[in-house]
Amino acid sequence: MTTEVDRTSRDKKDVRRLDRVIIRFAGDSGDGMQLTGDRFTSETASLGNDLSTLPNFPAEIRAPAGTLPGVSSFQVHFADHDILTPGDAPNVLVAMNPAALKANVPDLPPGAEIIVNTDEFNSRALAKVGYAGNPLEDGSLDAYHVHPVPLTTLTVEALKPFDLTRKEAGRSKNMFALGLLSWMYHRPTENTEAFLRAKFARRPEIAEANITAFRAGWNFGETTEDFAVSYEVAPAASAFPAGTYRNISGNLSLAYGLIAASVRADLPLFLGSYPITPASDVLHELSRHKNFGVRTFQAEDEIAGIGAALGASFGGSLGVTTTSGPGVALKSEAIGLAVSLELPLLIIDIQRGGPSTGLPTKTEQADLLQAMFGRNGEAPVPIVAPATPAECFDAALDAARIALTYRTPVFLLSDGYLANGSEPWRVPEVDELPDLRVQFATGPNVTLPDGGQAFHPYLRDPATLARPWAIPGTPGLEHRIGGIEKQDGTGNISYDPANHDHMVRTRQAKVDGVTVPDVVVDDPSGPPGEGARVLVLGWGSTYGPITAAVRRIRREGGRIAQTHLRNLNPFPANLGEVLRAYDKVLLPEMNLGQLALLLRAKYLVDVQSLTQVTGLPFKAEQLASAFKEALDDDH
């Protein structure tokens, strides 16, 4: 049954070269579409294509089978050149049932290929999603190239030698589909087989059944007339600088960035966290790396998560808490305490759709103002925001740099799109990473009028305004800190009006003084003021679609400048000057214009918002039209 076929012999069939392909796998949330997409992505990464992925799944773990709300999908875009987004419209849709077909067909361009599991197209399943007839027979899909494949039947047939029920065997249909797609796109198969053996190491018969289904899918493509053509997408070698690469998702690269920060700071990492979508994977990942001295504490609630992290920071750990928007709301008071205590702390917010519970599995950028202002009193907190999944690694290191250097809580704003999306990442050398080592206070820092020595916990470094970090266990530096206003220097409780005014301004000045790199404008037509007249500015995960749209405009001869903010508090020092150098500044955001509000307030520049809050990322095409309109108006 598991006879090897010669996977290099394709002489009977036509092989075509493509520069890029977008595939979307769609099925019930129990059909294993995320796993299928992940495996296809890994095969694609190991081939050296550039890629970008977009998982899209319902918040319900197992929504009712066969319904539209239960559809889970995974889109992967891969190319022989540098790409930036998971793509607007799939070239290929794999639909495991009528619901998956119905939910996804509107996104397909004419001529797209559709592979459907015909076994699921019975009258009951069709009726469940409101199909009056069978779309496979009524001509409604004539604009597409449809491959009807009885995926379940073929999988069950292939797994006959195994002692499995029809239902059990049918579960491997996703691996059959993966095998078929792997054949169509010449993907290497060894890693998937190794992966299945490792995943089901305790149940070898299940591993073998899945591998058999996978190979049967591959063979089906090879031997069936319906699949006359297969496609090659060459590696994207020229798109990447030399180096070692791997595929990485935003949450994984973020977790690695936190571990790297701990290693480079020579401080133990302590994560206090409460499970919440889409941040839980960071907790899961960090809990697997205890051999790095990483302590993960699954707390009783969001408040306890940040409280424990802050307690660990007081004791000399790199304290981190991970959450999403609703969790940030609960942590607000503790963030204010961290501002007052002036201790390092990382608050990682993987944003999702809001308000309230909102859209837990969908993406949004609507926590910016919450991060900026969501506390009582004047409580400034630096904010960093990665632009791509791979950049989450660098953002974690930068957030740690700011927290450790300035003794302050720092927000890192990722989002659901970055968290679950993936792309190739050049694996850095450890020596290239920033040195984050800190000096704990070791002795007295002040001489009293009587000649005695004392330790003042709020005596600041004049350059950074950071206070000393004196950890318990250090003799002679016993001191008390708290959330009540303190006298600058001594740290003693103080209700003195002038001191409070001074402390509020000092905490603000400390955050305003955080060193961040200048923004760099990308404009082939010239430097700010001399090239394009329209600037597109973005922050966070809109980087991919904005950049793809900017490229389209330029390909068509349009002149447009682009820049992207990684530091949102404080802003880069040259930002005002850059904004004022253009006639028009466009700002796409997945909110109702939160960064635009901040920029207008701070720089008095008439920034134009382009907003979308669908829970999905912008499409490049849609942004390109909006940019084009703005350019045309400008003439």
Partner 1 sequence: MTTEAPAVPGTRTALALVPTADTPQTAKDFKSDQEVRWCPGCGDYAVLAAVQGFLPELGLAKENIVFISGIGCSSRFPYYLNTYGMHSIHGRAPTIATGLAASRRDLSVWVVTGDGDALSIGGNHLIHALRRNVNLKILLFNNRIYGLTKGQYSPTSETGKITKSTPMGSLDTPFNPVSVALGAEASFVARAVDSDRKQLTSVLRAAAEHHGSALVEIYQNCNIFNDGAFEVLKDKKQAEEAVIRLEHGKPIRFGAPLPVEEGGDGLGSKGVVRDPATGDLRVVDVAKEGTEGVLVHDAHAASPTTAFALSRLADPHTLHHTPVGVFRDVSRPTYEDQMAEQLERAVEQRGKGDLAALLAGNDTWTVAG
| Interface with partner 1 in residues 255-294 (CB under 8 A) | 256, 259-260, 263, 268, 270, 272, 289-294
Question: How many residues are listed for the chain in this entry?
Answer: 635
Least distance in angstroms from the C-beta of 300 to partner 1: 4
Helix (H, G, I), strand (E, B) or coil at 146: strand
Pick 122 or 453: Cβ nearer partner 1? 453
String of contacts with partner 1 for each residue 2-41, x by CB under 8 A: ----------------------------------------
Which part of the chain contacts partner 1 (CB under 8 A), choosing from 45-53, 78-86, 412-420, 525-533? 45-53
Q: Is 346 in the site for partner 1 (CB under 8 A)?
A: no
Cβ-based nearer residue to partner 1, 288 or 580: 288
User: What is the distance between the alpha carbons of residues 464 and 405, in angstroms, rounded to a whole number?
Assistant: 8
> Which own/partner pairs from 523-529 qualify as long-range (CB within 8 Å, at least 24 positions apart)?
523/559, 523/560, 523/561, 523/562, 524/554, 525/559, 525/561, 528/561, 528/577, 528/578, 528/581, 528/582, 529/581
Residues in region 411-440 near partner 1 by CB under 8 A: 427-430
Q: What is the DSSP letter of 392?
A: H
How far apart are the C-alpha atoms of 586 and 611, rounded to whole Å?
10
Give strand pairing partners of 150: none
CB nearer to partner 1: pick between 431 and 633? 431
Q: Which stretch binds partner 1 (CB under 8 A): 32-40, 103-111, 242-250, 497-505?
A: 242-250
CB atoms < 10 A from the CB of 633, how many?
Answer: 9
Tokens of 139: 């001509």
- Report the DSSP beta bridge partners of residue 16: 231
| Pair 350, 282: CB distance under 8 Å | yes
Nearer to partner 1, 339 or 581 (CB): 339
Segment 87-146, which members bind partner 1 (CB under 8 A)? none
Contact 342, 405 (CB under 8 A): no
List 21, 45, 519, 546, residue binding partner 1 (CB under 8 A): 45
Residue 314 interacts with partner 1 (CB under 8 A): yes or no: yes
**Segment 476 to 515, residues that bind partner 1, using CB under 8 A:** 476-484, 492-493
Contact in structure between 285 and 255 (CB atoms under 8 Å) = yes
Helix, strand or coil for residue 10?
A: coil
Q: Which is closer to partner 1, CB of 117 or CB of 247?
A: 247
Cβ 87 to partner 1 shortest distance, Å: 22
Tell the smallest beta-carbon distance from residue 384 to partner 1 (Å). Answer: 20
Place of tokens 């963030």: 335
**Window 573-612: contact mask with partner 1 (x via CB under 8 A):** ----------------------------------------
CA distances from 76 to 8, 40, 119 (A): 24, 8, 25
Instruction: Determine which residue in the list 130, 133, 243, 513 makes contact with partner 1, applying CB under 8 A.
Output: 243
Binding mask 187-226 toward partner 1 (x if CB under 8 A, else -) reads ----x-----------------------------------
Looking at residues 322 to 341 of the shown chain, list those that interact with partner 1 (rule: CB under 8 A): 333-334, 336-337, 341
259 vs 283, beta carbon nearer partner 1: 259
Question: Looking at 93-101, 306-314, 400-408, 609-617, which segment touches partner 1 (CB under 8 A)?
Answer: 306-314
- The 3-state secondary structure of 357-376 reads CCECCCCCCCCHHHHHHCCC
**Greatest Cα pair distance in the chain:** 96
Positions in 447-476 near partner 1 (CB under 8 A) = 472-476
Scanning 298-306, 401-409, 570-578, 627-635 for contacts with partner 1 by CB under 8 A, the matching segment is 298-306
Sole residue written with tokens 């031997």: 223
Cα distance between residue 368 and residue 364, in whole Å: 10
What is residue 73's DSSP assignment?
Answer: E
Query: Does the protein bind partner 1 through residue 316 (CB under 8 A)?
Result: yes
